Structure 1
């Protein structure tokens, strides 16, 4: 199949949901064809370490190291560090497995020595044997902050520590206005061989919007003159993973594929919905239906092939 796919592909992705399609694309495309621009709005400093949850989910997923039971972190993980930390009375609300911890320690060491997040991420993916490029949206810090009925929370405190319980009333992306696109992200979008841009089925508000908040990204996408395709993370009014539907309701939005399509108005050309939402019509958009619930590797590869076919990259 990969031999029939000549163009380069750029995918925008958050963590778990987006990583599923990213894995399918990685398995279908030839080495070097795919660049995944990862959300770093979830990044934070914890226990003195730089943690990049969405980048790590993409790394573990594409390297075959992800935990299919928990849905996050590494498989066959051990927890000696967390047990010892708990014994000492340390903060344990954000769980760091021993293997996962090694990644954060090495990333922090490299960053503190002057390397960029792009450089560290590229070295990690090469070391893990990943053929597709994984690049942060920016090497500058952009931090998602969630305004709730209890006040403002940094994203991980809202998402993990408080388990998305507070009602969301607004969002902000601190540092976005001063950020610039990571060099590899800019290069991928300017590549003359670029054939399509794919927005993976990640949370539009918490995972994709931080990427789009980086100055120049929307303009770069608009200048590409290639199909821009988004896959809905909402199926029949329900989120496949995470707090998307809950948050949409709290923000006064109807949790539906149609609402997601409206959110991406002016940015995308093709919108892929699940078969449960077949028949959806959106002015100015080509809406197509496919099985989008990716339970198995075959499902992920199947959806990747379908998405690429919509961009004229099928074979």
Structure 2
């Protein structure tokens, strides 16, 4: 069983943990491939930082900081303090010492000629993560945010301003020259099931889909595509997705996001969509779009609940596939 997931950071990591448990239970030897957003990536203090890839890596490796939701557990920040003392980097974007080890290793691999896909595989080989992490592209496509105060890197807008500065639009620099990474394309093409994690529809899933070649790969894939709503009762499950959705004129509503993605039968992305129990009234609205919908509990708390969400997504995909 080949399961491919399109995912962003923290929400994607929680879903991936549940999927790994559910897939082992349902399919035993399932091959899980996670095609990951790289629009948040940034070069900082001379090192390549990949927030979404690292959130997934640390969560699956069991070394992530579950309280903060990002970074490594048991961190220290001595190096970050020294960088701040030298006036280097962003003082509001703290890199822990263990986390810096990852960034330094990745940077060394890239400088030696490895692609981001190759470097990610080498980093993940350190732990039994139970999945293959695949950056959607090996090219650099940093997301910038256009605001009244100028153009900010996405991480500055997200972390320093806490998304409180209204965004007019999001721009992935260099996206027109980028291409889907070969391994990511294969993961979509030969999948038995394709899942859209409950990640930010704009700057995570949206960035992935915006890479040239991804939409074509999804359109021609034979596997059913099932998404999990990242909005429950009009609120984001995690993070500040409402601010991102407002910038593109999409309501923070599970049915509105399903309509934004669209039905594959009408040139969109989705065959199926999982709605939270709090949004059960939208079931008919989603199905009227040509998308098979199901209502289930969607809160991604650790352990069994996250696994149940993944199990429900796989079961919806199975029913669509027949």
In the superposition, the TM-score normalised over structure 1's length comes to 0.93
SS of equivalent residue, structure 2 residue 95:
coil
RMSD between superposed Cα atoms in Å: 1.6
CA distance in 2, matches of 1:247, 1:68: 24
Select the residue among 290, 300, 316 that pairs with 1:294: 300
Deviation at 1:22, TM superposition (A): 1.1
The answer to whether the 8 Å contact 1:32/1:131 transfers is no
* Long gaps (5+) in structure 2: 263-267
For 1:212, the equivalent position in structure 2 comes to 209
Alignment-derived partner of residue 20 in structure 1 = 14
Corresponding position of 2:52: 54
Residue 278 of structure 2 aligns to a residue whose secondary structure is helix
What does 1:255-294 correspond to in 2, within 5 Å? 255-265=252-262, 266-280=268-282, 281-282=285-286, 283=288, 284-294=290-300
Report if aligned partners of 1:93, 1:161 keep a CA contact under 8 Å in 2.
Answer: yes
Post-superposition offset of 1:27: 2.2
The whole-number CA distance in structure 2 between the counterparts of 1:275 and 1:32 is 28
Q: Does 1:227 align with 2:240?
A: no
Aligned pair partner of 1:8 in 2, 10, 13: 2
Counterpart-to-counterpart distance in 1, 2:256 and 2:65: 31
Deviation at 1:46, TM superposition (A): 0.2
CA drift at 1:198: 0.4
Count of matched residue positions in the alignment of Structure 1 and Structure 2 = 306
Distance 1:10 1:130 in 2: 15
List runs of 5+ in structure 1 lacking aligned partners.
1-6
1:247 pairs with 244, 259, 264, which one? Answer: 244
CA 1:90–1:173: 2 relative to 1, 3 Å: closer
> Which shifted more, 161-170 or 259-268?
161-170
Hey, what does 2:170 align to over in structure 1? 171
Partner residue, 1:145: 144
SS at match of 1:22: helix
CA positional deviation for 1:250: 4.7
Higher alpha-carbon deviation: 246-255 or 94-103: 246-255
Counterpart of 1:45 (choices 18, 21, 43) is: 43
Between the aligned partners of 1:307 and 1:150, the Cα distance in structure 2 is 41
Q: Distance in 1 between matches of 2:45 and 2:84?
A: 13
